[in-house]
Amino acid sequence: MHLQSLIVALLVVGCSAYAAWTLMPAVARRGLAKQLLRVRWPAPLAARLQRAASASSSGCGCDGCDASSAAPGRSSGNAGAGAQKIVFHRRNH
């Protein structure tokens, strides 16, 4: 029973850390990543922390306009430029 409790506790801690990291603002995530890079980590984890510690392309501190999450055919620099068509779909009852 103790081994099962230990495994459950590790899963809960890991999931909580993942949720906190994901929901954390980019500015706080960047600062935490810089602090964590002071410790020696395995190469894959260190690479992820290095990417998180680097500044975003827009400099605003949010995650909304990174080049990796921009729409295809649209650069992150002109995310607000250009009108887009809004389509409303009627529900059939």
Domain boundaries along the sequence of the chain: 25-57
Residue 81 has pLDDT above 70, yes or no: no
**Which of these, 32, 29, 17, lies nearest to 62 by C-alpha position?**
29
Confidence of residue 12 (pLDDT cuts 50, 70, 90): very high
> φ and ψ at 41, to 5 degrees?
-125, 160
* Nearest C-alpha neighbor of 53 from the set 29, 18, 17: 29
What average pLDDT does range 72-85 have in this prediction? 62
How high is the mean pLDDT of the chain? 80
| Whole-number pLDDT of residue 62 | 58
